[in-house]
Amino acid sequence: MERTRLMRNFRTSKYKKIYYFVQQNGRKWEVVEFPTNDIVRTFRKKKDAELFSEQLTQTKPFGNVPLPNFMKGNIDILE
């Protein structure tokens, strides 16, 4: 008998890659972590949110593990 593969394709994979994207919520821009869909940080400017998102995607601080909950939900209060 052959061994069955755990991952047949990307859609049925139980291991999904973590990446970050930017979405607008009213006047604020949010950096969201996928696949957990948690808000990592909120910014007032789109450019700042995109730079933060790109930085997290390129250099993942915890590798293939999502960010811990205490590091999520920070609001950028600088204007």
Number of domains in the chain: 1
Q: Within a domain: residue 28?
A: yes
pLDDT band of 17, cuts 50, 70, 90: confident
pTM of the model: 0.71
> What does the alpha-carbon distance between residue 31 and residue 29 come to, in Å, rounded to a whole number?
7
74: which 2 tokens?
A: 């920070």
Range of the domain at 47: 19-75
Q: Within a domain: residue 57?
A: yes
Q: Within a domain: residue 70?
A: yes
Q: Within a domain: residue 4?
A: no
Three-state secondary structure call for residue 25? strand
Q: Within a domain: residue 61?
A: yes
Chain CA centroid to CA 24, Å? 15
Q: Within a domain: residue 5?
A: no
Q: Within a domain: residue 1?
A: no
- To the nearest whole number, what is the mean pLDDT of the chain? 80
Q: Within a domain: residue 24?
A: yes
> What does the alpha-carbon distance between residue 2 and residue 51 come to, in Å, rounded to a whole number?
46
- Torsion angle of C-alpha atoms 28, 68, 62, 9, degrees rounded to 10: -80
Q: pLDDT above 70 covers what percent of the chain?
A: 72
Look at residue 1 and tell me whether its pLDDT is greater than 50: no
pLDDT in tens, 35-63: 888 999 999 999 999 999 999 989 988 88
Structural contact between residues 60 and 18, judged by C-beta atoms closer than 8 angstroms: yes
**Cβ atoms within 10 Å, residue 76:** 16
